[in-house]
Chain A
Amino acid sequence: MAEIVLDKVTKSFPDGTVAVREFDLTIADGEFLILVGPSGCGKSTTLNMIAGLEEITTGELRIDGRRVNEKAPKDRDMAMVFQSYALYPNMSVRENIAFPLRLRKVAPDVVSSKVDEMARLLELSQVLDRKPANLSGGQRQRVAMGRAIVRDPKAFLMDEPLSNLDAKLRVQMRTLVSRLQRRLGTTTVYVTHDQTEAMTLGDRLVVMRGGVVQQIGPPQELYDSPANLFVAGFIGSPPMNFLYATPGADGLESPLGTLPLRFSQPVILGARPEHFADAAMIDEETRRRGIEFDATPDVVESMGSDKYAYFVVQGPRATSAELEELAADSGAADLPTDGTQLVARLPAASDARENQPIRLWFDVARAHAFDPQTGQVATADGR
């Protein structure tokens, strides 16, 4: 149990590159904190600095009010789960889990009872005498968790612990991690690049980009009111749609039509896929709150519960450094597109079909607007 405070923690390398810049954060006792961002954003470096595996260049790290910058990992009393699990291949499952206890010179009978307890908790009793090489991916992952939990550390540090599992197992393990953390109430810092994991697991999220913290807050808050384009584009799946819009006489002119919003300069408009609707399926009153437009989806993905309609609108594309970085991270940077591709999430009952024109509706009240230059949230009536 511990409160972890990062006070202007910075990591820079001798060649001048800065991996993490002035990271300020107080992680409350028992909190489940998620560090999320694309690869190379400094999230793992931050975790390693908390662990003590990497030196802090400037700034201070305090655990329960005490400065620990100079302390070795073993003196910080935190446990870590690695992406690769990092099990000791020469030791059996039992020895792997017992290793942290044996290093602390815990009495042998206590060690064996604790290992058995872990094995029961994580359903590893059958495989205690096997070597890691003879375990499935999910079992290895659970051994790694057991090794971290067994000695009751002050905090858990997890570095993308689920990213090597296949999709189905990942969902199962996600709930297991969540349940374990609630039950143990141990402060946890969890690194991931998967925004679904980030949204579902954490009490609070820290979105990072290029070593700089973009926004900190509960998942829903980041989803509902992203502070900038990067957070807006990173959180949410399918991601937020972005459109370029310019101020006109009657409001904001966008490829979707004219929105009754007042801005004195061009903005990048953000529209979540679920804030679109099939105009035929909503009542008159709701319809008046937004704008209607015609679109011809070129692809309709039916997810069973929902339909994702992809369509292209003409007009200048919304571009900014943030959006390009997000596109590069998802590998979509070099996809050729004319105009702007948008996705709308429609109810399964909608008539949307490929290459069939359909009237769509957009909830203007839920629109986000960002300054194309700075990427920050733009406020109506200029700034």
Chain B
Amino acid sequence: MKTLRWGLIDLLVVVYALVPVLWIVSLSLKTPATLTDGKFIPQEWTLEHYRAIFSTDMFLRALVNSIGIALIATAIAVVLGMLAAYAIARLSFPGKRVLVGLSLLIAMFPQISLISPLFDIERQLGLFDTWAGLIIPYVTFALPLAIYTLSAFFRQIPWELEKAAQMDGATQAQAFRRVIVPLAAPGVFTTAILVFIFAWNDFLFAISLTSTERSRTVPATLSFFTGASQFEDPTGAISAAAVVITIPVVLFVLFFQRRIVAGLTSGAVKG
């Protein structure tokens, strides 16, 4: 009885979460004629939209931009976040509270209000419409998130492990690299996933700070899918592209999820 009730609740949640996704998948597989028939299961199946989006350079180019920019931004944010979070979790230094407060402030700041100044700044600096022009704001806005998640993980690691490493002859850097980082790995991967998804899904910066295929990412490119003529409906193509860009995120999560093993630190100390 209890299993049944939980099963029903689980099903409800899964259906609620998956219906929009299935809807997009369904739209991407419909022929242009049946796109607006209102049926959830396509009457006529086609892969034409997928063929169409991969036939032009535009989408492929955007995909490369998206993957490159998101990966680089993730790597930078996680490395910087790790160093900052370690300091926050382990050391007491002047201005620690101010630093934590400021990083929280950045996370809360409405991003839309920064678009115009950023646009001007990046034009002046020649960063507009470059990879770096997107990577820098992504790192900035992902860092508070990274620092918060990582410092929570660092706090869980028994401090004595680090002392033990120092006694065993490790420098502080060696203790960090060989003992602390492996133990914080679940936290690092969790943070990496969160930051990657943030950068991957961003539309606001992508549409405002790019102007050509040189650096335009997929979410921004989708908005330029207009169809071959103004009479052609781009819904199918947009849906197909939306399905395609979901795949890397799913792969990314699946790949790293296996590394996020709970209880990795058990057995370090008594208990």
Interface on A for B, CB 8 Å cutoff?
51-53, 72-74, 78-80, 82-90, 99-100, 103-104, 131-135, 137, 140, 147, 151, 157, 164
Contact = CB atoms under 8 A, between A and B. Distances in A.
B11 interface: no
A85 B168 contact: no
Interface in B140-161: 158, 160-161
6 contacts: A78-B167, A82-B164, A83-B270, A86-B163, A99-B165, A157-B167
B266 to A, nearest CB: 5
Contact of B158 (A78, A86, A135): A86
A188 to B, nearest CB: 14
A337 to B, nearest CB: 35
A185 B40 CA distance: 81
Contacts of B183: 89-90
Given A80-B167, A132-B268, 10 more contacts: A51-B163, A53-B163, A72-B166, A73-B163, A82-B164, A86-B164, A87-B267, A90-B179, A103-B168, A133-B263
Given A86-B268, A89-B268, A137-B270, A74 B171 contact: yes
- What is the interface residue range for chain B against chain A? 20 to 34
A284 B110 CA distance: 96
Contact of B166 (A73, A85, A133, A147): A73
A82 B163 contact: yes
A133 B271 CA distance: 9
B169 A74 contact: yes
B161 A86 contact: yes
A12 B174 CA distance: 29
B160 A88 contact: no
B167 A79 contact: yes
Given A51-B167, A78-B167, A86 B160 contact: yes
B33 interface: no
Contacts of A100: 168-169
B73 to A, nearest CB: 28
Interface of B: 158, 160-161, 163-171, 174, 179, 182-183, 263-270
Nearest to B172: A72
Contacts of A99: 165, 168
A143 B266 CA distance: 16
Max count, chain A CB within 10 A of own CB: residue among B163, B164, B166? B164
Contacts of A151: 168-169
Query: What are the nearest 9 A-B pairs in CB distance?
Result: A133-B267, A84-B269, A86-B164, A132-B267, A100-B168, A89-B268, A86-B160, A80-B167, A103-B169
Contacts of B174: 103
Nearest to A131: B267
A164 B266 CA distance: 16
A78 B266 CA distance: 27
B153 to A, nearest CB: 14
A84 B270 contact: yes
Given A104-B169, A147-B168, A89 B163 contact: no
Given A100-B168, A147-B168, A87 B268 contact: yes
Contacts of B158: 84, 86
B154 to A, nearest CB: 15
Contact of A88 (B169, B179, B266): B179
B217 to A, nearest CB: 36
Contacts of B160: 82, 84, 86
